[in-house]
Amino acid sequence: MAKPTPRPTPTEQPFYDACAQHQLILQHCQGCGHVLFYPRTHCDQCQSEQLVWKEASGQGSIASYTVVRRGVSADFEAPYVIALIDLAEGPRMMSQIIETEPEALAVGLQVSVDFAAWSEDITLPVFRLHPALDANA
Ligand SMILES: [Zn+2]
């Protein structure tokens, strides 16, 4: 089984274009202020089509996580960490936490966005533990 490669829709394309530039952007609803993820054509709260892309802070916290100790195929290097990240702007994003020992993880810890090439065409946001937590290192 090869790695599934996202095929961005026109609605999602700006998100992936920004990731390629190592920027995390999110849609903000001009109607109600809601911040959306995944990208949509309409606000999922008020149905407004007045959505504007804004750069996100890249900060978030771990809402939950799981350590995958055996990759589903050779394309997935195990162990790796899949996590739900509560972004500072509100949306929850499923992503990967990189370069950390699974034992160091806990729900509620702060993380910062980084970017990883997934394929030739696609760069995806990933997260790492907030550097401030390494103050004792
Ligand atoms: Zn709205």
Read off the amino acid at residue 32: C
Question: pLDDT tens-digit profile of 104-136?
Answer: 999 999 999 999 998 888 999 999 998 655 545
Question: pLDDT tens-digit profile of 24-74?
Answer: 999 999 999 999 999 999 999 999 999 999 999 999 999 999 998 887 777
Q: Which of 39, 90, 37, 93 is nearest to 64 (CA)?
A: 93
Q: How far apart are the first and last CA of the chain?
A: 39
Question: pLDDT tens-digit profile of 6-19?
Answer: 889 999 999 999 99
Tokens matching residue 106: 């806990």
Query: From the CA of 21, how far away is ligand 1's center (Å)?
Result: 27
- Which residue ranges make up each domain of the chain? 11-56, 58-137
Query: From the CA of 47, how far away is ligand 1's center (Å)?
Result: 6
CATH 3.40.309.10 fits 58-137, yes or no: no
Query: From the CA of 14, how far away is ligand 1's center (Å)?
Result: 19
Instruction: For tokens 């804004």, name the residue.
Output: 54
**E runs forming strands in the chain:** 25-29, 35-36, 51-55, 59-68, 80-87, 92-97, 110-117, 123-129
